[in-house]
Amino acid sequence: MSACNPASSLMRAMITSLALAVGGCGEAAGATTPRVSASVHGSAVVPGCTGTPVLGGLPAARGYPTGAAPVRPAVGDFNLDGKPDLAVANLGSDTASVLLAKGDGTFATQVEYATGSSPSSVAVGDFDLDRKPDLVIANYGSNTVSVLAGKGDGTFVTQVQYATGSSPFSVAVADFNLDGKPDLAVANSTSDTASVLLARGDGTFVTQTDYATGSSPCSVKVGDFNADGKPDLVVANRDSDTVSALIGNGDGTLAAQVVHDAGSRPNSLAVGDFNLDDKLDVALANQPAPSILLGSGDGTFLFVADHAAGNRAGWVAVGDFNADGAPDLAVTDVARAAVNILLSRSVPQDVR
């Protein structure tokens, strides 16, 4: 059984409602854009705020019901009103929930849509080129992805499923053959492959092409890692302690993987320019601490460091949390049920 099996203790830690932190630090502080200034055991302090530190520089979270065991939410403007809405894969109920934003930081009651078995990841793209965002969902238990075309009013048509490799756990969207149509990449966690499904532009996809990865690929992301204008893939291979880089040829195919050491049991990865040298890097949620692979600009990477961030790193995301222009990291700590913020030093450097 794959180490990124959604029935694992990591995924069982997910709750059955989606918790969202909204707003600043209250009317008394007068803050409208929270800024993280320090990490305090998985919390963060907001300048101008007093009292107990709050998670991620935000006040207490407000929960919105979803289906069972929601994982990996995605953001898109599904009803085209200029307000970012939410979609989340419900691992335990074989559905995806859509929560439309009201524009004041709150959301309408969810609407659920059927997916395949054990949906584990969701992404957004315009697959039929009608300028209305659609959903794609990786179904771990049915070895498929579900595509749900958006109507532009916040609702979606019934899913269409496409075959992938075994136990797809993560899905990403990019135009791999440069034809202006968003394609799909999927990490298949028990067949040790990544699938690419090229789009026809009408909302349908051709049969997948599979590429070898390391053992138990749990996360896939897209970036132009060799700066040739063609999208590439990076895949976190949890059971082989590696990251696979698959360079895109620009025609919808990928070169064979180049394998990089990644530290212990990488479960999730994110992409950003962490040393501000205009070359894309990779951040990894390892066990127990996250690490960085610095990009060389030619599609290869250099493992540089583990960074203390709790006891059991689960998932990693990138954002500029202190508004200094440098990408920071948010890393979940499953052991302590916390999110740790790692702020960038914001100093361009070349360690190669």
How is 28-50 classified by DSSP, letter by letter? TTT-SS-----EETTEEPPTT--
pTM of the model: 0.84
pLDDT at 134: 98
Cα distance from N-terminal residue to C-terminal residue, the chain? 38
Phi, psi of 57 (to 5 degrees): 80, 20
Task: Write the pLDDT tens digit of every residue in 64-97.
Answer: 999 999 988 899 999 999 999 999 999 999 999 9
Rounded Cα distance, 163 and 159, in Å: 13
Alpha-carbon gap, residue 339 to 318, rounded angstroms: 13
R_g (Cα) of the chain, nearest Å = 19
Give me the residues paired with residue 85 across strands. 76
Confidence (pLDDT) at 45: 27
Tokens of 333: 């700590």
What is the spatial distance between Cα 140 and Cα 11, in angstroms, rounded to a whole number? 13
- Closest listed residue to residue 131, CA positions, set 197, 74, 77: 77
pLDDT at res. 3: 57
Place of tokens 């690929």: 217
Q: What is the pLDDT of residues 106-151, one digit of tens each?
A: 999 999 999 999 999 999 999 999 999 999 999 999 999 999 999 9
Does residue 44 contact residue 341 with C-beta atoms inside 8 Å?
Answer: yes
Which of 351, 352, 332, 325 lies closest to 343, judged by CA?
A: 325
- When the pLDDT of each residue in the chain is averaged and rounded to a whole number, the result is 83
Instruction: Compute, in degrees rounded to 10, the torsion defined by CA atoms 337, 341, 342, 348.
Output: 150
From residue 94, give the alpha-carbon distance in Å to each of 23, 246, 287.
Answer: 31, 31, 29
| Out of 48-57, 244-253, 289-298, least confident range | 48-57
Output phi, psi for 55, to 5 deg.
-60, 125
**Type of residue found at 79:** N
Q: How many Å apart are CA 167 and CA 139, to the nearest integer?
A: 7
Local structure of residue 150 (DSSP, 8 states) = B
Task: Read off the pLDDT band of 344 (50, 70, 90).
Answer: confident
